[in-house]
Structure 1
Amino acid sequence: MTETAATTVSAEQTGREQALTEKVLASFERTPDARLRQLMQSLTRHVHEFVREVRLTEEEWNTAIEFLTAVGHITDEKRQEFILLSDVLGASMQTILVNNPADGDATEATVFGPFFVEDAPEIPLGGDISGGAPGQPCWVEGTVVDTEGAPVPGARIEVWEADEDGFYDVQYTDDRVAGRAHLFADERGRFRFWGLTPTPYPIPHDGPVGQMLAATDRSPVRAAHLHFMVTAEHCRTLVTHIFVEGDPQIEIGDSVFGVQDSLIKRFEQQPAGTPTPDGRDLAGRTWARTRFDVVLAPAA
Structure 2
Amino acid sequence: MDFNEENSADVVVASLSTMREEDARLKEILTSAIRHMHAFVRETRLTTAEWEAGIEFLTAVGQTCTDTRQEFILFSDSMGVSMLVETINGAEGEIREWDDLSPTASTVMGPFHMTVSPERQLGDLINDTGRGEPLVVEGSVTDLEGNPLAGARVDTWQSDGEGFYDVQVDYLPPGTGRGVFTTDEGGYFWYRSVMPRHYPMPVDGPGGALVVREGRDIYRPAHLHFIAEADGYQSLTTHAFVSDCPYIERDVVFAVKRSLIRDFVTIDDPEEAARFGVASPFRHVRFDIVLAPSETTVESGYQGVQT
Give the TM-score taking structure 1 as reference length.
0.89
Give 2:240's aligned residue.
242
Give 2:7's aligned residue.
19
Identity fraction in percent: 42
For 2:72 and 2:235, locate their aligned partners in 1 and report how far apart those are by CA, in whole Å: 23
SS in 2 for 1:186: coil
Give 2:38's aligned residue.
48
Do the aligned residues in 2 keep the contact of 1:126 with 1:278 (CA within 8 Å)?
no
For 1:279 and 1:243, locate their aligned partners in 2 and report how far apart those are by CA, in whole Å: 22
Do the aligned residues in 2 keep the contact of 1:156 with 1:232 (CA within 8 Å)?
yes
The unaligned stretches of length 5 or more in structure 2 are 96-101, 296-307
2:273 partner amino acid: T
Q: How does 1:1-300 map to 2 (within 5 A)?
A: 16-32=4-20, 33-102=23-92, 103-104=94-95, 105-132=102-129, 134-173=131-170, 175-251=173-249, 253-271=250-268, 273=270, 275-276=272-273, 278-282=275-279, 285-300=280-295
For 2:189 and 2:32, locate their aligned partners in 1 and report how far apart those are by CA, in whole Å: 44
Q: Can you list the C-alpha shifts for 1:137-185, whole angstroms capped at 9, x where unaligned?
A: 1111121100122110111111110111211111124653210111111
Question: Aligned pair count?
Answer: 283
For 1:43 and 1:131, locate their aligned partners in 2 and report how far apart those are by CA, in whole Å: 47
Do the aligned residues in 1 keep the contact of 2:62 with 2:72 (CA within 8 Å)?
yes
Do the aligned residues in 2 keep the contact of 1:74 with 1:81 (CA within 8 Å)?
yes
SS in 1 for 2:51: helix
For 1:107 and 1:279, locate their aligned partners in 2 and report how far apart those are by CA, in whole Å: 26
SS in 2 for 1:76: coil
SS in 2 for 1:239: strand
For 2:75 and 2:69, locate their aligned partners in 1 and report how far apart those are by CA, in whole Å: 12
How far off is 1:273 after superposition? 4.1
How far off is 1:256 after superposition? 0.9
For 1:153 and 1:277, locate their aligned partners in 2 and report how far apart those are by CA, in whole Å: 27
Q: RMSD across aligned C-alpha pairs, in angstroms?
A: 1.8
Shift of the 31–277 alpha-carbon distance from structure 1 to 2, 3 Å rule, reads: farther
For 2:75 and 2:50, locate their aligned partners in 1 and report how far apart those are by CA, in whole Å: 18
For 2:202 and 2:220, locate their aligned partners in 1 and report how far apart those are by CA, in whole Å: 11
The unaligned stretches of length 5 or more in structure 1 are 1-14
How far off is 1:275 after superposition? 2.7
